[in-house]
Structures are given as C-alpha cells and as structure tokens.
Amino acid sequence: MASDEFDIIRRYFNSSELAFPIPELSLGIGDDCALLRPAAGMQLAISMDILQEGVHFLPDADPYLLGQRTLLVNLSDLAAMGARPICFTLGLCLPTADEVWLDGFSKGLAQVAREHRCTLVGGDLSASNPAHASKTLCVQVHGELPVGTALRRSGAKIGDLIFVTGTLGDAAAGLKVLRNACKESLSKLHRAALVDAFFVPESRIEAGQLLRSLASACIDLSDGLASDLLHILQASDVGARIELDALPLSAALRAAHSEAEQRRLAISGGDDYELCFTLPAENTEAMRQALGAIGVSVTGIGAITAGTDIQWRELGEPVVLKISGYKHFHSALAGVVEGAH
C-alpha cells in the first residue's frame, strides 16, 4: 500500500512514461515549482479544467479511460487556439490511495501524454474530504505557439463560413450508453463507438495548428454547438445561420436514437471536443486539403451573418429550437451527470 503522497507521486506519476524531458522544461517534478522556457518567438497558451466525480464522470468510470479523457479534454483547449502541447500539471483529491485506480489512471494519462509529447511537470495530491470521499481532478495544460498567431474566438467576420470537425453528439450518446439510456437493440460495435467518443475524444491538436493560418475564429465544442458557437458570436459581435440538415452525424448515433434525439445530442449534448471554426470562403479549398491530408473530416454547417444570435434552418427554412448548453448551477444541482464540462 502506497503510504503517503510522496510515495504515490514517485510510484505512479514521476515515471519516465509520464514525466519525460522536453526542451522547454528546465525543471520538472520535485521542487517548489517547475521551470519552463518557451522557445524564442513563441508564447505559452494555458488552460485549466476541473473535473469532479458525480458531475463530470461516473464514480465507476474505468480509470485508464478516465486518465485518457482527463488529459484529452484539456488538450482540446490547446487545439482550439492552434497551440502545440508541451506540458501539464495535475491536482488530485482522492479518498483513498487505491492502487488499482492509481495504476490505471496514471497509465491512461501516460498514453495520451506520450502520444502528444505533453509531459507531467508538477501538481498536487491530497486526500479528499473524508465525509464525502469522492475524486476531484484538476489539469492545467501548457502549449506553445508563435507570438501573434493564436486562433481566437473574436475573429469571425460576416460572410465567413462555419465548419466543424468530425461528427457531433456521439460523446453525449456514449454517456447515455453508460447509463443504459439507449435502444436495447443497439449493436455492440455502435455502443463501443459511442462510449469511445465520450472517453477518448479524437485529438484535434494537429488540425488546430493547421488552421492557425486559415481560420478566422475557433472554439472547441465542450458544452455543445448551440452554447459554444454563441461564444464565437459574442466575441466577434456577429450572428450565424446554421443548416440543421448539414450537421455531421455518425452511423452509431443514427442507430442509437430517434431523429429528434440525434439532433438534440448533436446541438446541445456536449463533450464532443471537436473544433468549430469560421473562415473566409476563399480559404475553404486550402483548409479542406490541409485537414484531408491528416485524415480529419470536416463539414460546412452554415455561415456568419449580421446579428447577434444563431438562426437555425431546416430544408432552407428558419426553425425555432428550444435548446441550451449546460448550465452548471442549474441542472448540475439536480444531480445530472450528462453534459457537465
């Protein structure tokens, strides 16, 4: 049994699999601070996410998959700015020093850390409140990009086209599979595809870097298209027209739910961690070539307009949708796990 925080850090987190050297890192785990130095001409992009058991993940979540997801959803914020990951820090509150959980979780983290050359450089480990005994995970990712090239939310212009990578709604449908809230007849293959979409979202890190010179604005879809696109519109002071028929839906999602539910999950299910971006029409072909070359599918779903809101359209006609993104201090308090980011 790992006896204290220093033992646990040594055994599970300060391994060469997870905490490896990179050129930008002068000092990693083991002192009061880690020391970083971006390369000349580069700036750091940083983003923090806090995840809590019972809100962002189910108590019985597989620790390996949870480790992967914890880092992947944070890397998605770097992708949305076009940054290249360099390192991350990890804060953990755990009710017990559960070796099986620690082993699985740290290996899941390490798998993603190695794949993206994003090394663990520090953090904090504590016992959680003994009266509550649930896990809290906090990750901060650090990426690098040339000064002045970051993809912002604020650059969308009237007439720009709107695209999303991958397919929408799969992760939220995956969470429903985990909660046994899907069609009984759904095939094993489709179930697995949806659960995978929740735990191991496709990384759009490379796509984000390619979009730096092409897109006018970008965001990652964590709360759902309806909510996240609004952030671009507000930051850019524009509106949007979205063609509902154009939303990219996977075969698994189509097999799992009614058309109305497919659409609801695609628009407001959240957790997809796909990129939603805008670009001037003349960059479309270059963007399609760049993303095609790395095997990332992309779908045009509408255009930026004057105004301040989203106009949803179906078969070319405006429709009214009653949807919203996740509100942490509304539905979360009712104990709903689905859709917390």
Which tokens go with 217? 């604005």
CA distance 158 to 280: 9
Q: How many CA atoms lie within 13 A of 121 on its CB side?
A: 25
CA distance 308 to 326: 20
Judged by CB under 8 A, which of 219, 252, 266, 287 binds a second copy? 219
Q: Give the shortest CB-62-to-a second copy separation in angstroms.
A: 19
Task: Write the binding mask 20 to 39 for a second copy: x where contact by CB under 8 A, - elsewhere.
Answer: ------xx--xxxxxxxxx-
Q: Give the shortest CB-109-to-a second copy separation in angstroms.
A: 15
CA of residue 223 relative to chain centroid, distance: 9
Residue 184 found at the interface with a second copy (CB under 8 A): no
Terminal-residue alpha carbon distance, the chain: 33
Secondary structure of residue 99 in the 3-state scheme: helix
Judged by CB under 8 A, which of 81, 177, 200, 211 binds a second copy? 81
Which tokens go with 305? 């307009």
Asked if residue 267 lies in contact with residue 168, where contact means CB atoms within 8 angstroms, the answer is: yes
Residue 47 found at the interface with a second copy (CB under 8 A): yes
Judged by CB under 8 A, which of 16, 39, 50, 297 binds a second copy? 50
Judged by CB under 8 A, which of 220, 271, 272, 274 binds a second copy? 220
Q: Give the shortest CB-138-to-a second copy separation in angstroms.
A: 4
Residue 107 found at the interface with a second copy (CB under 8 A): no
Closest CB to a second copy among 194 and 279? 279
Residue 138 found at the interface with a second copy (CB under 8 A): yes
Mark the segment that binds a second copy (CB under 8 A) among 43-51, 193-201, 258-266, 311-319. 43-51
Q: Give the shortest CB-311-to-a second copy separation in angstroms.
A: 22
Q: Give the shortest CB-223-to-a second copy separation in angstroms.
A: 10
Write down the residue that tokens 């929740």 correspond to: 198
Q: Give the shortest CB-282-to-a second copy separation in angstroms.
A: 25
- 176 Cβ contact list (under 8 Å, min separation 6): 182, 194, 256, 265, 338
Angle, CA 333 vertex, CA 332 and CA 339 arms, to 5°: 10
Asked if residue 287 lies in contact with residue 214, where contact means CB atoms within 8 angstroms, the answer is: yes
Closest CB to a second copy among 51 and 291? 51
Which tokens go with 128? 């959680």
Residue 308 found at the interface with a second copy (CB under 8 A): no
The DSSP output letter for 53 is B
Judged by CB under 8 A, which of 19, 109, 120, 150 binds a second copy? 150
Judged by CB under 8 A, which of 10, 15, 17, 44 binds a second copy? 44
